[in-house]
Structure 1
Amino acid sequence: MNDLADPAGLSDPSGPAALAALRTDEGRALLAALRDHDPAQELATATRLRREHPAALVSAALGMARLRQRAVAKFGAEDAYRMYFTPNGVEQATRASVAAYRAGRLAALGVRSLADLCSGIGGDALALARAGIRVLAVDRDPLTAAVARANAEELGLDHLIEVREADVTEIDTSGYDAVFLDPARRGGRGRIFDPEAYSPPLSWAVGAARTATYAAIKIAPGIPHEAVPPEAEAEWISDGGDVKEAVLWFGTAPGTIRATLLPQGVSLATSDPLPDPEPGPVGRYLYEPDGAVIRAHLVAEAAAELEGRLIDPTIAYITADTLRPTPYATAYEITDVLPFNLKKLKALLREREVGVLTVKKRGSAIEPEELRRKVKLQGRNSATVFLTRVAGAPSMLIGAPATAPR
């Protein structure tokens, strides 16, 4: 069957014809055979498979296999290798753990039906359906809608998910308990930073949210705080220490600012932010707040829990003289506080036989890899160096991770 023709229109490996072909028995068998394939051996793999399958189908399967491998990090292997993707869909989809957390919040509010606008390949709809919520998933792109429909069917959730190809601005959401909006934040030139350049614009999304009993708008974590509507709750979410997204909630806790850390599922929140703590000398311990805490502007709240202070008015490092347990920051025991000096750092690391150096920076222009290259590490010990400012002066703090007693 080494047929190089493309009568089915499979020349676009991520097009609608390819999606349909990959859902046939032959397409499924090809994808199953490619589950663990090595991309470095793709040419040899393609040559072998084309002896038994049409060349265009093999190309489509290889393209989908690559997308599935990329999607494992977001969806996990069990789901990713059953799902279908587009390149943009993989890039823009919500991480499954974050989508599940958000769906859990909505279910806890009593939401049983929801309009998912700009649903993409259906990642959020899947999490919502698994939380027992009936979903209308809407996307205007025909292929994206077809992929979302396929994913709902493949994961056995199509009885809870209706996929509709339509312009979200024309959808009547009045019959649903809640609305979820995920405006596109990428364009032809990459990531979009201006909320009014989202598709649809943030102002339209906020207007749609205001008409619902409950609503959530997924936004970029770098959104300026002044862009948050006063009646919204603003939540920043990290997963495994990486900030993944921000969400504007309507109908929950107006004016609340929240940082949520996954997988722990803990939240730091306030509707009356504290003023920044006074800076002071570096104590025995340094705390590095989670990125969600920093983005939510809740460093002062974390410092208050730790009875700590800042090392500099402009730097989000907290210092304290005692070690306390906290889920909102990582603790380090500091052994040295020195003015920044590359020669002194190199000599100190050599003297202590440091061969593994973790470099962290905040308020410093020096790149970690550049520093590692210059100090020429050699030895059996490890250390952490913070390149930062202390009371306005370029400084280096040396220490190691510390574990607080429970």
Structure 2
Amino acid sequence: MEMSELVTLLSHESLDLIDAVGPISSSDDAMKAVTRMRAAGHSPDLTAAVVTQARLRTRAEAKFGPFASRMLFTQAGLEQATRMPVAARHAQRFVAAGARSVADLGCGIGADALAFAGAGLRVLAVDADAVTAGITAHNLAPFGDSVEVRHSLAEEVDLTGMDAAWLDPARRTKGHSETKRVTAADYSPNLDWVFGLADGLPIGVKLGPAHDRDSLPENAETQWVSVDGDVVELVVWTGTLARDGVRRAALVVRGSGAHELTAPADAIDEEPRELGAFVHEPDGAVIRARLVGDVARSLQAGPVADGIAYLTSDTPLTSPFVSSFRVREVLPADVKTLAKALRGHDIGTLEIKKRGMDIDPAVFRKKLNLKGSQAATLILTRSGTKRVAILADRV
């Protein structure tokens, strides 16, 4: 998006048109909207800008809920924005630490800043891209004087008077549509500068969940967050924002609920054990935080094999930190044998999971030639040193 397009979108006419177009969830919807607008005499540029925003708003509902209905977006900004339920938890962390103001350095389209302001914090929102800063100013306008938006490099901002800072370093190439990931050495602002801020100010830093653990500050709290099964971020909390005695945390958000597992360090893993009546798949945040051992002990379970993040037990225990499956049958991981067994169970709908086996589930599924009226889960993994296929049902 160019600045000229943003200026056009910020007019009352354009904003009213976006509202009037309504939800656009398909190419067919978009074509119909374009046809209506062009028939009404609107220019091609205005039509394209309005329809693009209407479509982005529709997509944004999954992250922003009702807030999306008055916001503006870029494609890249929406893809990289924090989900509102997660942003709200970021805001709660600052409030709980006693902060009254926060600098959001690298604010993007303003997702976290929106949550900060909504929690009653005074917000300084900063972004290095002029168009993005303009979009953020629009998105945060309802909060009036409690929010200031600046177009600036994070490194050039005077943080005097701010109680804490939130940073989301750019991890992709510049742009408003298609962007590419960059290595940690090319993040902007530089991570050495980012973590250097912690010497004088409590900070929270949002990183990708696969970020190199060895490069993280040793005295910080590291929290991995998953939403509905997808690990979406790693947050590094320092100073008063880090909780006493917590160095590892896994926050699991599902629907409107959330559960968190915390520990002072990586958990010690349990020893592998023979396959039992149940298999448990730890949430990705638990795996990233290396807290699988703590979950295993809570379930009286152990790994199915060395280095495999499936747990097994004989007790019917489960937890919010795992997906649990009741074992029906253990079979050889052989296509012909499995196809015959699945026909015998009348299984036509099959969820396929795998760890420790070099198999493409989509290709494997085609070879099974599934037909039937029943559903089940197939877990392809190792039990001890053997490759096995575990036919199971979700608990």
**TM tier relative to shorter chain:** over 0.9
Q: Residue type matched to 2:387 in 1? A: P
Q: Is the 8 A contact 1:30 1:58 kept in 2?
A: no
Matched residue, 2:61:
72
Task: Indicate whether 1:168 and 2:168 are aligned.
Answer: no
- How far is 1:130 from its partner? 0.8
Task: Indicate whether 1:258 and 2:258 are aligned.
Answer: no
- 1:130 alignment partner, one of 93, 118, 125: 118
> Secondary structure at the residue paired with 2:144?
coil
- 1:319 alignment partner, one of 303, 312, 315: 312
Q: Residue type matched to 1:72 in 2? A: E
Q: CA RMSD in A?
A: 1.6
- How far is 1:99 from its partner? 0.6
Higher alpha-carbon deviation: 57-66 or 111-120: 57-66
Instruction: Give the Cα separation in 2 of the matches to 1:244 and 1:94.
Output: 9
Higher alpha-carbon deviation: 267-276 or 34-43: 34-43
Alignment of 1:78-157 (within 5 A): 78-153=66-141, 156-157=142-143
> Secondary structure at the residue paired with 2:70?
coil
Equivalenced residue count is 384
Instruction: Give the Cα separation in 2 of the matches to 1:360 and 1:239.
Output: 19
- 2:272 alignment partner, one of 279, 282, 287: 279
Higher alpha-carbon deviation: 130-139 or 197-206: 197-206
Q: Is the 8 A contact 2:267 2:290 kept in 1?
A: no
Task: Indicate whether 1:16 and 2:24 are aligned.
Answer: no
- How far is 1:174 from its partner? 3.2
> Secondary structure at the residue paired with 1:159?
helix
- How far is 1:374 from its partner? 1.1
Instruction: Give the Cα separation in 2 of the matches to 1:302 and 1:135.
Output: 38
* Structure 2: tracts of 5 or more residues without a match: none
Q: Residue type matched to 2:220 in 1? A: A
Higher alpha-carbon deviation: 31-40 or 294-303: 31-40
- How far is 1:75 from its partner? 1.0
> Secondary structure at the residue paired with 2:143?
coil
- How far is 1:393 from its partner? 2.2
Q: Residue type matched to 1:190 in 2? A: K
Matched residue, 1:5:
none
Alignment of 1:348-359 (within 5 A): 348-359=341-352
Task: Indicate whether 1:59 and 2:45 are aligned.
Answer: no
* Structure 1: tracts of 5 or more residues without a match: 1-13
Q: What TM-score does the superposition give when structure 2 sets the normalisation length?
A: 0.93
Matched residue, 1:305:
298
Q: Is the 8 A contact 2:220 2:238 kept in 1?
A: yes
Task: Indicate whether 1:181 and 2:167 are aligned.
Answer: yes
Q: Deviations over 1:340-397 (max 9, x none)?
A: 1111110000001001101111112212211221111111111100011111322111
Q: Is the 8 A contact 2:332 2:338 kept in 1?
A: no
The verdict on how the C-alpha distance between 1:158 and 1:363 changes in structure 2, with shifts beyond 3 A counting, is farther
Instruction: Give the Cα separation in 2 of the matches to 1:57 and 1:357.
Output: 47
Q: Is the 8 A contact 1:331 1:401 kept in 2?
A: yes
- Give % identity: 39
Instruction: Give the Cα separation in 2 of the matches to 1:241 and 1:19.
Output: 35
Task: Indicate whether 1:202 and 2:191 are aligned.
Answer: yes
Task: Indicate whether 1:31 and 2:22 are aligned.
Answer: no
> Secondary structure at the residue paired with 2:268?
coil
Q: Is the 8 A contact 1:178 1:215 kept in 2?
A: yes
Q: What TM-score does the superposition give when structure 1 sets the normalisation length?
A: 0.91
Q: Deviations over 1:239-266 (max 9, x none)?
A: 1111110000001247610001114322
Q: Is the 8 A contact 1:112 1:177 kept in 2?
A: yes
Instruction: Give the Cα separation in 1 of the matches to 2:293 and 2:342.
Output: 33
- How far is 1:324 from its partner? 1.2
Matched residue, 1:47:
35
Instruction: Give the Cα separation in 2 of the matches to 1:326 and 1:220.
Output: 26
Instruction: Give the Cα separation in 2 of the matches to 1:223 and 1:56.
Output: 40
Q: Is the 8 A contact 1:179 1:209 kept in 2?
A: no
Q: Deviations over 1:209-254 (max 9, x none)?
A: 3320x21000010012211111110000011111110000001247
Q: Residue type matched to 2:108 in 1? A: G
Q: Is the 8 A contact 2:33 2:51 kept in 1?
A: no
- How far is 1:66 from its partner? 2.2
